Amino acid sequence: MKPKFDIVRLSKWFFLLSSAITVAGLIFFAVFGFNLSTDFKAGSRIQFQVNQKVDDTKVRQMFQSVGLNIGDTGLTVGGIARNVAIVTLPGQLTPHQIQEIQNAEHKYFPDAKQGIQVDTVDPFVAQQTAHKAVWAILAAAAFIVIYVAIRFEFRFAIAGIIALLHDAFIVLSVFVLFRREIDLTFVAALLTIVGYSINDTIVIFDRIRENLKIDKPKDVESLREVVNKSLWQTMARSINTVFTVLVAAVILYFFGGVSIRNFTFALIIGLISGAYSSIFIASPIWVAWRSRSLPKKTVTDEVEVV
Amino acid sequence: MKWGRFLAFLLMAVVIVGLTAGTVTTIWKSIPLGLDLKGGVDLLYSVETPKGQSLSTSAKQALLKAVELRVNSLGVSSPIIDLEGKNQAGQDQIRVQVAGVKNQQEAEQIIGATAQLAIYGSATMDKKTGQLVPQGKPLATGADLKSNAKWVVDQETGQNAVAIEFKNAQKWINITDKYVGKQIYVFLNGQLLTDPVIQEKMYNGQSEISGGSLSTPQACMALASELNAGALPYPLHLESLTSVGPTLGQTSLQRTMVAGLVAIIIIFVFMIWVYRLAGLIADLALVAYGYVTLLVFDGLHVVLTLSGLAALILGVGIAVDANIITYERIKDEMRNGRSLKSAVKVGNRNALRTIIDSNATTFIAGAVMYFFGGQGDVRGFAVALMVSIIVSLITAVLLSRLMLFSFTNSNVVRRPWWYGVGKGVLKEHEAKV
């Protein structure tokens, strides 16, 4: 693709944009915290058996009638005849609420013979899974640094990791800003985003590395030119690739099941951020860092003479 | 036109499409779907702690770890394990949900037997049954062992045995020191396994146990894996067993499957639209990717869950990306004035390094997630990701390359247009010719 504008020169605006989203996310996080689903919070598990196959909407109406909202993933159907409804709700239920649910069950499912069975759920396991995921991502980042530092150079490694963490942060920020629920599927999405982000970044770094061998920039100005050229050379690929994966995520978001909407939403944000950060964050960071060891401008063109 | 090359290309295309169309449904059906996609069984256990004692955080962790290891030894079945409030008897409860279980018997075996290995210094004959029963406190139990027990064949006797190693070597040294010339009694699940006489004091924590029921390699391996899984810190009592539907909801899933299919079709059309015949080759390679990945999942007995599917989608992205990188590279080479054939050759070569580096980095991420992610979802994702990357390297790079080369060399089409090379590029190129 032909260069349309100087990406490296405009990089401070991109840094600003990403920082703004992250800061806004942080402020919202400080004020409201994460909107955690029952996966991560202590909750209640309500189970009851009805006489026919469980009707999802009817169960949701029944809980709504007592002022309780079942989340997208809060309802599971059980039993061989699929006649057992299992509902998970955040927080502990008061005895009064349990009585209300019991009454509502009689009203909505008069044939049901058994009463409701209420258990409290300890979020211990899900929390551990989330902790493990965080550790796994950090450990993965450390090993990626080592590999990229060997294959490329240390500065590329750090720039790539910053882009990777940037994407994770952006997704978290957007979830906080939109008050989206963070559930266990979010963990899977985050892992996917990390995988995509680093893959996407390395492809661009590879082109920069290749062009550096050809052009051998001796000053900041020519270094910027080389990187800008590399970014535009890989632009068609960047756009086409992110388009194909985004198409899948967007279609799954709008036409797929409601219960994976949080997951696909995280994917959409993460894919956009991943593609964006490879071009507009990772590469400029590398330029800024690499520039520090180069003179601003070579005085003459003696380089070419040699 | 070279018919041989073209026929080779056609043959590859036909084999891919034929194999996939012919067997994909059978393979798909034999891959067990996870709890979130298909449902499974819900098992509720009560934790039989000593009276009046409740679980501390560390005890919870130990218990959950032991249960996880038993339910999910490969780390690919993503069970849901939850601690729940106390039951009427005041016992803590643990809920285990697993996919792909067919009957009650199988369900009960999920947690499996606890290999309760205990070594005693004395035992007495039970007068009623005529069997030896342990006496006093055990000298050591399975909890004292490292989890590296394995089946070995004794060098001297040629007997099957299980090699064990004590966590604290000193403990075993002390026992053997105290019991030199005396008998010790090794009990497995309350049954006397063997009662060897300690011949001499040991100077390391290693030993072998053999005899009794451990006559076959299978029995030894079974005991070794039970010992390695670690003893459950508390006995579990199965309270209830229910079958459950998918946690993500049945209708929700059907819609998702249809949406996924639509997405794939759009990707296929997009690739053909942008890269024409080369795009078609990429699509064929993508079909092969999907097919081979499912085959590998089937072979590894991976239980497919949402996170596994997410890794598969990421894999599709990586596979498509490999082709896009290559084709854009081919265009670049043509811009530099190469002929179509030489551009295809050089473009492929130059793209390969990029693809290897980017995929190696992602593979490392997957491998690290596997080792650091513990059991469950993270590990399931990591396995699926690593499989996806290797398969995508084979299909989207090797296979796709093979098809592209045989197609290009067959000279069926000569115009770069068929490779998605645009007018701008073409003019430059033709000007140089």
Q: What is the pLDDT of residues B397-416, one digit of tens each?
A: 999 999 999 999 998 888 88
Alpha-carbon distance A153 to nearest alpha carbon in chain B (angstroms): 13
Query: Which residues on chain A are in Cβ contact (under 8 Å) with B307?
Result: 185, 187-188, 191
- How would residue B113 be classed by pLDDT, with cut points 50, 70 and 90? low
Domain boundaries, chain B: 3-35+247-432, 40-101+239-244, 117-231
The minimal CB distance from A237 to the residues B254, B324, B364 is found for: B324
Contact yes or no for A78 and B242 at CB 8 A? yes
CATH class of this structure's domain A43-122: alpha beta
Exposure string for B354-391, b = 16+ CB within 10 A, e = fewer: bbbbbbbbbbbbbbbbbebbbbbbbbbbbbbbbbbbbb
Q: Which residue has the tokens 């053909």?
A: B272
CB contact under 8 A, B381 and A259: no
Looking at residue B100, what is its pLDDT? 67
Contacts of A258 in chain B (CB under 8 A): 249, 252
Phi, psi of B410 (to 5 degrees): -75, -10
The CATH homologous superfamily for domain B3-35+247-432 is Multidrug efflux transporter AcrB transmembrane domain (1.20.1640.10)
What pLDDT sits at residue A164?
Answer: 93
β-pair type (B40-47, B160-165): unpaired
Question: How do residues A164-194 score in pLDDT, each as one tens digit?
Answer: 999 999 999 999 999 888 887 888 888 889 8
Higher-pLDDT residue of B25, B209: B25
Name the pLDDT band for B102 (thresholds 50, 70, 90): low
Q: Residue A284 burial (CB < 10 Å; 0-12/13-18/19+)? A: buried
Distance from CA of A212 to the nearest CA of B (A): 15
> CB–CB of A140 and B368 under 8 A?
yes
Q: B64 to chain A: which residues are within 8 Å by CB?
A: 124-125, 128
The mean pLDDT value for B174-192 works out to 80
Class of the CATH-defined domain B117-231: alpha beta
Closest alpha carbon to A208 in A158, A165, A162, A156: A156
Residues of A in contact with B263 (CB under 8 A): 247-248, 251-252
pLDDT in tens, A217-259: 989 999 999 999 999 999 999 999 999 989 888 998 988 877 7
Query: Considering only CB atoms, which chain A residues are within 8 Å of B245?
Result: 76-78, 82
pLDDT number for residue B375: 61
**Residues of chain B with C-beta less than 8 angstroms from the C-beta of A137:** 369
Nearest Cα to Cα of residue A263 among A179, A168, A188: A188
Nearest CA in chain B to A126: B82
How high is the pLDDT of residue B429?
47
Handedness of CA A148, A129, B60, B245 (dihedral sign): negative
CA-nearest of B157, B44, B177 to B98 is B44
- Is A255 within 8 Å of B262 when comparing Cβ atoms? yes
pLDDT category, A304, cuts 50, 70, 90? very low
Contact A188 B332 (CB under 8 A): no
Q: Please give the pLDDT value at position A279.
A: 94
> DSSP letters of A16-37?
HHHHHHHHHHHHHHHHH--EE-
Distances (CA, A) of B217 to A293, B153, B160: 64, 9, 6
Average pLDDT over residues B173-184: 84
Q: Which of A74, A75, A38 is nearest to A56 (CA)?
A: A75
Please give the pLDDT value at position A306.
42
> What 3-state DSSP class applies to A45?
strand
Nearest-Cα distance to chain B for A299, in Å, is: 31
**How many angstroms away from the CA of B176 is the closest CA of chain A?**
41
Residues from chain B that touch A39, judged by Cβ atoms under 8 A, are none
Q: State the nearest Cα–Cα gap between A80 and chain B, in angstroms.
A: 6
**Mean pLDDT, range A144-154, rounded to an integer:** 91
B-chain CB neighbours of A75 within 8 Å are 249
Kindly list the residues from chain B whose CB atom is less than 8 angstroms away from the CB atom of residue A254: 259
Q: Do B364 and A79 touch (CB under 8 A)?
A: no
pLDDT the model gives residue B266: 92
What ipTM score was computed for the predicted complex, to two decimals? 0.83
Whether the pLDDT of residue B218 is over 60: the answer is: yes
Please tell me which residue of chain A has the smallest CA distance to B371: A136
User: Do the beta carbons of residue A196 and residue B366 sit within 8 Å?
Assistant: no
Assign B52 a pLDDT band (cuts: 50, 70, 90): low
- Substitution target in B38, B82, B335, B397 with the highest count of A β-carbons within 10 Å is B82
Residue given tokens 């080759």 in the structure block: B281
Tell me whether residues B267 and A247 touch, CB distance under 8 A. yes
For residues B271-297, give the mean pLDDT: 93
Confidence of residue B432 (pLDDT cuts 50, 70, 90): very low
Please list every residue in chain B whose beta carbon sits closer than 8 Å to the beta carbon of residue A121: 82-85
Cβ <8 Å between B307 and A56: no
Phi, psi of B164 (to 5 degrees): -125, 160
Topology of the domain comprising A11-36+125-305:
Multidrug efflux transporter AcrB transmembrane fold (1.20.1640)
Q: Where are the domains of chain A?
A: 11-36+125-305, 43-122
Q: What is the pLDDT of residue B433?
A: 41
Tell how strand B160-165 and strand B150-153 pair up.
antiparallel
- Alpha-carbon gap: A49 to the closest alpha carbon of chain B (Å): 12
Strands A35-36 and A181-182: parallel
Query: Residue B327's pLDDT band (boundaries 50, 70, 90)?
Result: very high
**3-state DSSP assignment of residue A180:** coil
Q: Which of A84, A133, A200 sits opposite B242 (nearest CB)?
A: A84
Q: Are B15 and B402 in contact (CB under 8 A)?
A: no
Tell me the C-alpha distance between B233 and A234, whole Å.
56
Copy the structure tokens of residue B65.
Answer: 């770890």
Side chain identity at residue B398, one-letter code: L
Indicate yes or no: CB of B321 within 8 angstroms of CB of A237.
Answer: yes
Contact between B354 and A203 using a beta-carbon 8 Å cutoff: yes
Look at B310 and A189 and tell me if their CB atoms are within 8 Å.
yes
**Average pLDDT in the A65-94 region?**
84
**CA distances, B336 to each of A217, B329, B340 (Å):** 21, 11, 11
Q: What is the mean pLDDT of chain B?
A: 81
At residue B208, the 3 state secondary structure works out as: strand
The stretch B132-153 carries a mean pLDDT of 78
**Which among A121, A199, A259 is the nearest to B82, CB-wise?**
A121
Residues in B touching A200 (Cβ below 8 Å): 321, 358
Low-confidence winner among A34-48, A115-129, A183-197 (lowest mean pLDDT): A115-129
Q: Write the CB contacts of B353 (distance below 8 Å, at least 6 apart in sequence).
A: A206
Nearest to A135 among B61, B360, B372 (CB): B372
CA distance A137 to chain B (A): 7
Residue-level length of chain A: 306
Which of A282-291, B191-200, B256-265, B326-335 is predicted with the least confidence, judged by mean pLDDT?
A: B191-200
Lowest-pLDDT range of A131-145, B352-366, B388-402: A131-145
The more confidently predicted of residues A163 and A91 is: A163
Cα separation values, A92 from A120, A122, B87, B387, Å = 7, 11, 16, 42
Q: Report how far residue B257's alpha carbon sits from residue B28's, in angstroms, rounded to the nearest whole number.
A: 13
pLDDT of residue B415: 83
With pLDDT > 70 as the criterion, what percentage of chain B qualifies?
88
d(CA A37, CA A15): 32
Which of A93, A197, A199, A231 to substitute to test the interface with B, most B CBs within 10 Å?
A199
| Predicted pLDDT of residue A239 | 94
Secondary structure (DSSP) of B240-293: EEEEE--TT-HHHHHHHHHHHHHHHHHHHHHHHHHHHHHHHHHHHHHHHHHHHH
Residue B227 has pLDDT above 80, yes or no: no
Report the pLDDT averaged over residues B272-294.
Answer: 94
What single DSSP character describes residue B216? S
The top-scoring range by mean pLDDT among A6-10, A115-119, B310-314 is A6-10
Cβ(A238)–Cβ(A204) under 8 Å? Answer: yes
Sign of CA dihedral B216, B222, B228, B231: negative
- Tell me: pLDDT of B74 over 60: no
Alpha-carbon gap, residue B335 to B329, rounded angstroms: 10
More confident position, B398 or B134: B398
Work out how many CB contacts closer than 8 A connect A with B: 243
Pick the residue of B87, B377, B383 with the most A CBs within 10 A to test the interface with A by mutation.
B377
d(CA B343, CA B329) in angstroms, rounded, equals 8
Q: Quick check: B77 pLDDT over 70?
A: no
The pLDDT-based confidence of B274 (bands split at 50, 70, 90) is very high
Residue B155 above 60 pLDDT? yes
- Contact yes or no for B251 and A257 at CB 8 A: yes
Residue type at position A182: I
pLDDT one-digit tens code per residue, B80-94:
787 877 777 777 888
Across the range A201-224, mean pLDDT stands at 93
Residue percentage of chain A with pLDDT more than 90: 37
**Residue B338, min C-alpha distance to chain A (Å):** 17
List chain A residues with CB under 8 Å of B85: 119-122
